[in-house]
């Protein structure tokens, strides 16, 4: 399976405060944010490193889907590997943001997303 990057997805309780920390303190730049106005999800970059930040309130996580995001060059290979192992997954699904993605949960319930640019 050819993975080109892995990105952690971090839950944050206060999106503007977390954004300020990653941008102003750590020197990340904003690659993209969801919504207009921003709804509590952003992709940040520092050189080749990436991090996704997603807002949550208390026990509820309205944007809580993934714990990690993996870019791949062959989504069909990912699907084939999961099928061959008898692992349940969703996708491949074309997204409105230009990716084709597969979601799968690991044995502990962490949802992983594998995506390829379309």
Please name the residue that has the structure tokens 């290979």.
77
CA 62, chain centre distance (Å)? 14
pLDDT in tens, the chain (118 residues): 789 999 998 888 888 999 999 999 889 999 999 877 777 889 999 988 999 998 865 555 544 578 889 999 999 999 999 999 999 999 999 998 899 999 998 877 888 899 999 8
- Region for residue 78 given its phi and psi (left: phi exceeds 0; alpha: psi -120 to 50; beta: otherwise): alpha
Q: Token pair for residue 44? A: 């940040």
Could you give all domains of the chain from N- to C-terminal order, each with its CATH number?
1-58 (3.10.180.10), 66-118 (3.10.180.10)
> Which pLDDT value is given to residue 62?
46
- Region for residue 19 given its phi and psi (left: phi exceeds 0; alpha: psi -120 to 50; beta: otherwise): alpha
């Amino acid at each position: 399976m050819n993975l080109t990057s892995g990105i952690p997805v971090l839950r944050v309780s206060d999106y503007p405060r977390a954004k300020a920390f990653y941008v102003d303190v750590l020197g990340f730049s904003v690659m993209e944010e969801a919504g207009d106005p921003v709804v509590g999800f952003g992709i940040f970059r520092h050189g080749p490193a990436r991090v996704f930040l997603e807002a949550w309130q208390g026990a509820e996580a309205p944007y809580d889907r993934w714990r990690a995001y993996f870019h791949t060059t062959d989504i069909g290979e990912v699907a084939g590997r999961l099928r061959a192992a008898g692992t349940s997954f969703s996708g491949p699904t074309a997204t409105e943001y230009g990716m084709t993605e597969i979601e799968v949960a690991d044995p502990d319930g962490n949802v992983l997303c594998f995506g390829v640019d379309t």
